[in-house]
Amino acid sequence: MPSSTFRLATAFRNGRTKIDDVYFEAPFKLMSPFVRGRHADFIVMLASPGFLKGDEAHIECTFGAGTDSTIKTQSYEKVLNTADGSASRTIDLTACGDAKAVFLPFPVIPFEGSTFANVSTARISPESTFVYADVVTCGRVGRGERWMMNRFSNRLRVSVDESLASEKYRQALRGEANDSDDGRPHRGRPRKQPDRSRLVFADRLLLEPARFDYTEMGMWREYTHCGVLYAHLPETDPGYDPNALDDVQASPYAASGGAASGSKDPRLIADPRKRIEATRMAAEDALITRIRDYAKTAESHGFRGEFGVSRVVNGVCVRVLAMRGDDAFDLITAIADMV
């Protein structure tokens, strides 16, 4: 596949998430989606032995407002020996409105002598629920190929773009009443929308065994699989209520044991942008608490490795080190189900 493209757009119709548009070139294929009410699972297949020298794969997915989608790949992605060349993949994701989008590809296996570059870019609405995860191995461990790739590069950038949000959300930020818009065109010059796109998460993984020893302390050590998960929780406005209880225990937005404990109820904050941010941060604290509680019993679920969770600029990040790809992927899947 010198250059192949896969495009998918989803839309919410008749209470279900459906395919709005799809296009793919060989060796890409798409299985029939598994639909369960509003939710739909999509599995992207790559009918080839893996990435070869000169291969360029492009994946573009747009998730419509109201949809609930999970994108997975068919199996482990293999990067074969590219000799003096390289292979690459780009992933462009867009989540509109209150879409829920989960992108969970299977781990990538860089073979001996391979050079591979992956660049993932996501533009998401502040109202959206978004999860992105990827896992990479140190090589074909079963064949004794540890750290024999030439170079592996993986970049991820996630931006929150308010232009993708609903008009109701943008009205809330402007402090307008939700019922002030009667649906009819407004007279006069259209309101100028400021640029509200902001970078909320960036990550880069670079593997060059010829330059670095990844078995040292602070690196991978004895582990063979490394994964990262980023989760963005929807930014919603609970509304300003000066009569709301400021007791933390009584507030539905306080996270037990989280950084939001001790803070007042977000409904007491008059500024809409600060109110939305406080609500999001409380929800992030609650998610972090759930993940840390899960960590206490992770071994009983079959997980063997290490993982940690923390808040980033906007969202939650989980990093994983494991001895088996299934362990890392199953853990990431379990965490994605919590979001």
The C-alpha atoms of residue 108 and residue 111 are separated, in whole angstroms, by 10
Nearest Cα neighbor of 240 from 267, 276, 280 is 267
Per the DSSP assignment, residues forming a β-bridge with 128 are none
Burial class of residue 185 in the structure, from the number of CB atoms within 10 Å of its CB (0-12 exposed, 13-18 middle, 19+ buried): exposed
The pTM of this model reads 0.88
Mean pLDDT of 55-79: 95
pLDDT per position as a tens digit, 145-187: 999 999 999 999 999 999 999 888 887 777 654 444 444 555 5
The C-alpha atoms of residue 64 and residue 75 are separated, in whole angstroms, by 26
| Number of C-beta neighbours around residue 242 at 10 A | 7
pLDDT per position as a tens digit, 305-339: 999 999 998 999 999 999 998 999 999 999 999 99
pLDDT per position as a tens digit, 242-278: 777 656 555 655 544 444 444 567 888 888 888 889 8
Pairing between β-strand 315-322 and β-strand 87-95 as defined by DSSP bridges: unpaired
According to the model, what pLDDT value does residue 188 have? 55
The residue assigned the tokens 């699972």 is 41
According to the model, what pLDDT value does residue 172 have? 76
Percent of the chain at pLDDT > 90 equals 68
According to the model, what pLDDT value does residue 89 have? 96
